[in-house]
A and B are shown apart, each in its own frame.
Chain A
Amino acid sequence: MSDIRLEERLAAALARLILAPDAPPARHIAVGAASPIPAAACWLVHKQGHPVRLSLLHKRSGNPFTEGTRELFDLTGQGRIDLFFLGGGQIDGQANLNLVGTGEWPGRGVRFPGSFGSAFMYAMAHRTILFREEHSPRVLVERVDNISAAGVNEPGVFRRGHAQALVTGRCVFRFHPDRARFSLQSLHPGETVEGIRAATGFDFDVPETVPQTPDPTPAELALLRGPVCDEMLETYPEFCARVFDRKAAA
């Protein structure tokens, strides 16, 4: 088995979070457009034999919906989506997400594409895993410039779920909605608590011992490089070529 690539490690870490025994069950997961690593994690869970329904929004053939794009939001509004993935141009220590842009509203500094469905999905999915590979003070900030989707709400506001965790290229944070703070859950190989502190713009809690993010097992790697890659080739050809050295048939 060749060296483990970061993307494979992240996909395996996400898969473990999907299956976390202390989280509500993930029976139906939706994955957005620019998310090859979360998509790989979902396929890994599926190929491990767990009964999970995957709705991949940008699958070119076999799109899961017949009522247009509103169907995803209607499903989520009813509580039929157990898990969603979100990222952000900025993520802060209270798990607020900024997909709008930096500087004055509506992003007069650096304008990002926009909030998509985040302002709704974050509150209405049973849980959300935040994923952002870049771990830097530019992305992980003390306070986002603009809030696309709020990490927590005032008491009395109807909200079905929160962030479960934030996975970056350097570590895994767990989110605690009761106190609106992250804590360090695990460090990827080669990372230190001090290094994470220096690269993170927000304050977070650190338990006495912080384990290393587990390596993907040989069985997980075999699934990722085989059947998971097979499923992803059509939607993410560039990703599959780069990570799994596999080209789509012409």
Chain B
Amino acid sequence: MTNPISLEAMAASVPDGALLALPPDNSLPSVALAKALVRRGARGLRLLGVPVAGFAADMLIGAGCVAEIETSAVSLGEAGFAPRFSAAVRAGSLVVRDCTCPAVHTMLQAAEKGVPFMPLRGLIGSDILAHRPDWKVVPNPYAAAGEDPIVLLPALQPDVAIFHAVMADSLGNVWLGRRRECATIAHASKRALVTVERVVPGNFLEDERLAPGTINATYVTDIAIAERGAHPVALLDEYGFDAAYVADYARMARTEAGFTEWLAREVMTGAAPQAVAAE
């Protein structure tokens, strides 16, 4: 049976230093849980953008929660460059492991399959490869000897997958439609923490129309209800992207002081009392 936990309890279950896989702004990040992690004062987190990172990652970086990020980009989309990410790169206070989108997917797919590595075309000649000692170039064993170099990528198993879904059912299955990168990170990660708009009775897997967009409860560690939990990011056809909110963030987060003020207004006020006290 689904037994949702509180958002603050979910944030408390994420240990400092954990490797967190996050979907990008067009694919259902749990901004609500990211804000709760800021409130709990998480430290040393390692983020994986699947395959890129956006608003939630920039906020976590600005709040000092993040030690490392592995991603193919960090961007606020139409609102421009990610200001706290850019500042942290300039300051050298953040370890950045640059990646390229299909490499993120491939490393996670290797973890999904339980194999140690998978090959990927392209990448050769890129400085991304030159800065990744964990990526190896080998001759394609199926080609004539010594020919056709190809890149091997190690399996990547995040500690925690974090995303926002539309709904959970009575059995703890979650439905988020076609955004299957969330299924990939749930499959590949040790744990998946999912925030949802609502919990509904029934079993999505018995409904042929819902089943293809469902992630089986076997992959889902905990569920928390967070209404408008993706905001300011869009949630499928449930609600749209709040461009004004992100533009306001981008403006304020240009400076450390502005970001701190934004955080006090938009994140810390939503705290459970004990979380504020803990900060």
Contact = CB atoms under 8 A, between A and B. Distances in A.
Given A61-B237, A67-B180, A69-B181, A156 B147 contact: yes
Contacts of A73: 101-102, 105
A120 B123 contact: yes
B276 interface: no
A117 interface: yes
Interface in B114-133: 120-129, 131
Interface string B156-185: 000000000000000000000011111110
A114 B52 contact: yes
B98 interface: yes
Given A100-B127, A156-B147, A157-B124, A68 B183 contact: yes
Which of B27, B98, B121, B122 has most A Cβ within 10 Å? B122
Interface stretch (B84-92, B199-207, B221-229): B84-92
B180 A66 contact: yes
10 contacts: A70-B181, A100-B128, A106-B89, A114-B52, A114-B75, A115-B128, A116-B51, A119-B100, A147-B125, A157-B125
Q: How extensive is the interface on chain A, given as a class? A: 35 or more
Contacts, number: 147
B62 to A, nearest CB: 15
Contacts of B105: 68-70, 73
B102 to A, nearest CB: 4
A113 B149 contact: no
Interface string A143-158: 0001111101110111
Given A101-B89, A105-B127, A148-B128, A68 B27 contact: yes
Contacts of A63: 178
A61 B178 CA distance: 12
B195 interface: no
A111 interface: yes
A63 B178 CA distance: 9
A108 B90 CA distance: 5
Contact of B124 (A105, A108, A118, A153): A153
Interface stretch (B37-45, B66-74, B253-261): B66-74
User: 4 closest A-B pairs (Cβ-Cβ)?
Assistant: A150-B125, A114-B73, A73-B102, A68-B180
B234 interface: yes
Contact of B72 (A61, A68, A115): A115
A68 B178 contact: yes
A238 to B, nearest CB: 8
B147 to A, nearest CB: 6
A177 B147 CA distance: 21
B54 to A, nearest CB: 10
A123 interface: yes
Contacts of A122: 122
Interface in B76-107: 77-78, 81-82, 85-86, 89-90, 92, 96, 98-103, 105
Interface of A is mostly: loop
A77 interface: yes
Which of B52, B73, B99 has most A Cβ within 10 Å? B73
Contacts of A238: 78
A82 B255 CA distance: 43
A15 B90 CA distance: 39
Nearest to A236: B78
A131 to B, nearest CB: 18
A171 B72 CA distance: 30
A118 B81 contact: no
A107 interface: yes
A117 B100 contact: yes
Given A106-B96, A119-B128, A120-B122, A113 B74 contact: yes
B181 A148 contact: no
Given A148-B128, A158-B121, A116 B73 contact: yes
B240 to A, nearest CB: 8
A158 B103 CA distance: 17
A152 to B, nearest CB: 8
A70 B102 contact: yes
B150 interface: yes
B100 A68 contact: no
B82 A65 contact: no
B131 to A, nearest CB: 6
Nearest to B179: A68
Contacts of A120: 100-103, 120-123
B248 interface: no
Given A60-B234, A119-B123, A114 B74 contact: yes
Contacts of A114: 52, 71-75, 98
